[in-house]
Amino acid sequence: MFHTVIFPVIYGLIIFLAGMKVMEAALGSWAGPLLSNFLEKATSSPFKGMLFSTGITAVLQSSTAVTVLTMGLVNAGLLSFERTLGIILGSNIGTCLTTELIGLQIGRIALPLLGVSILVWAAAVLLDEYKLFSMRSASRAFRPIQLMALAAAGFAMVMLGIRVMQMIGPALEQSGLFGWFIGQSTHNLWWSVAAGAALTALMHSSAAVIGLAIALAAAGTLPVGIGIGIVLGANVGTCVTAVIAAIGSTKSGRFVAWTHVVLNVGGALLFMPFIPQLHWAVSLLSADGGAQIAHAQTLFNIVCSLAALPLCYLPVWKKLRFQH
């Protein structure tokens, strides 16, 4: 069991999470300065804030990072609470880019992409270090190239981690414990929701949990309906980091964190009765089980965010003023 299930999961998750951190750090260094420059204009309305947050979360590959950053800006008095509502909604949509790419099952190119990315990064570092180009504009271009190459390397590691985790499929099919869990989830999908929430809270990465579900579904081990339940739970579990960040925060910062919790938990509860219908809808888009789970994550977040968007325009939010 250790060599066939536990070790591949741990090894795959380490590669996956390391890749996510490399990608997040590289893209954050590249896009971070742009974030502060455009924040005021981009959040002038909830709809603009949602679009902006969708884009920046897709770039940073971390809805948690965007939420925690938003709390920090609110705590510092640089952003009013009503401007954060669209940001929270958009962060849930933007994070779907990773799972959609995972759902494409392009892990076969992971190793070549990793090798090419490292070579490009190393070449850019050497060219910048030894000033082989005297032109100032060429020298300034090396830094973005380094960051984008690191981001590509991080993405390749994410894909590689998924490939490693897919190796546990045959062993899980023979495991009585996994079969018991599938049986319980078949009778009551709350088991799958609870599993998704608990695993995400422990790992602080909904993408890792959903990626594992996609890998197992693609291998034919995990039924898609149960995988969708895990997706709903993962969206609940991802709120834990924001709640932890709210400890010692200002009242407005805590309100941002708990708004994030209410929106995600409310969306999961809203979709719970409609998992079979969601499964039917995504089956029209793809016959692959892994891709269906990725599409379910995207549809869930888009529908929930668009449904909640009109509430962001209520006058009550503008009246809220918190003392630091």
Q: What is the DSSP string of 59-86?
A: HHT-HHHHHHHHHHHHHTTSS-GGGHHH
> Whole-model pTM?
0.70
- d(Cα 316, Cα 324) in Å, to the nearest integer? 19
pLDDT for the residue numbered 203: 67
The token duo for 200 is 């995400």
- d(Cα 143, Cα 160) in Å, to the nearest integer? 26
- d(Cα 305, Cα 80) in Å, to the nearest integer? 20
CA atoms within 13 Å, Cβ hemisphere of 310: 2
pLDDT for the residue numbered 324: 44
- List pLDDT tens digits, range 162-189: 677 656 656 655 665 556 666 777 778 8
pLDDT for the residue numbered 280: 92
The token duo for 310 is 């009109």
CA dihedral 201→205→211→212, nearest 10 degrees, is -40
pLDDT for the residue numbered 323: 46
- Regions of the chain with pLDDT less than 50: 323-324
